Amino acid sequence: MSESVKFDRAAEYYDETRGYPPGADTAVSALIAQAGRFAPHSSILEVGIGTGRVSLPLAPHVGSITGIDLSRPMMGKLRKKQNGEPIMLVEGDATRLPFAAQQFDGAVASHIFHLIPAWQQALAEVGRVLKPGAALISIWADEHNTFATLWDAWNRVVPHNPERVAGVDWRKQPNFIQDAGWQPMGDKLQHRYERTITPGTFMDQVRRRVWSMCWRFSDDDMAVGIPAMEAAIAEHYGSMDTIIHLDARIYVQAYLPPA
């Protein structure tokens, strides 16, 4: 059985809490196709396809997409949204891809390797199934540190401070793909977007444990961590209803596997 984090429990609320602002998915999919030099005939793999947040808007740019994920409920949500897009789904483990060597013209991965303890093996598997000259496209957003002061308050009071990630912590190791021997191909592309959020919305998400890192927190952790966050909100923001304007970026970078 895989030790990677499985998102069955998030299927019902995932799109509500992870979606891009309106129009951003179209812009980002164009950047993905540009970075990977994808063509209308390209056969693409998405690792951790989930509900199709990346693959559904990317589908018009390529010939076909094969998505692999541990979570059948997440992929079930994709199926309900699918409207003829050439997307095939496989329930499986990224560290043991059930595909032939040199099968795909490219691969995409968005915020997935922090969920995989054996992330180096998953990267190696992606490299194995890529055709010569084909790239892995990594997609990530930079708004995750918006409430860093609140997490700092949490970390000061939670006794054992459970690990937030199962795999590689990309915040601490932003160059983890290069560190594994992959080489950047082309420039890092970005899409800028703006949105607003309040501390109250953030706290609601913490209480609901909408993020996978929160699934490791016990009720005792929550009982001391949440009041610490609320005190930090009063100190830094004044109110749960303070509107915070985010000027955020979604980044897209292509990488070629080790020679």
Predicted confidence (pLDDT) per residue in 128-182, tens digit: 999 999 999 999 988 767 888 999 999 999 976 655 678 898 878 889 999 999 9
CA distances from 30 to 39, 54, 60, 98, 137 (A): 11, 11, 10, 28, 12
Q: Compute the Cα dihedral for 137, 50, 48, 84 and give only its sign.
A: negative
CA distance 41 to 72: 27
DSSP string, 231-252: HHHHHHTSSTT--EEEEEEEEE
Domains in the chain: ranges and CATH: 8-256 (3.40.50.150)
Residue linked to tokens 């915040």: 171
pLDDT tens-digit profile of 53-95? 999 999 999 999 999 999 999 999 999 999 999 999 999 999 9
Q: Which is it for strands 130-141 and 244-256: parallel, antiparallel or unpaired?
A: antiparallel
| Helix, strand, coil % in the chain, rounded to nearest 5 | 40, 25, 35
CA dist., res. 242 & res. 238, Å (int): 7
pLDDT, tens digit, 9 for 90 and up, residues 222-250: 999 999 999 999 999 999 999 998 888 99
pTM of this structure: 0.91
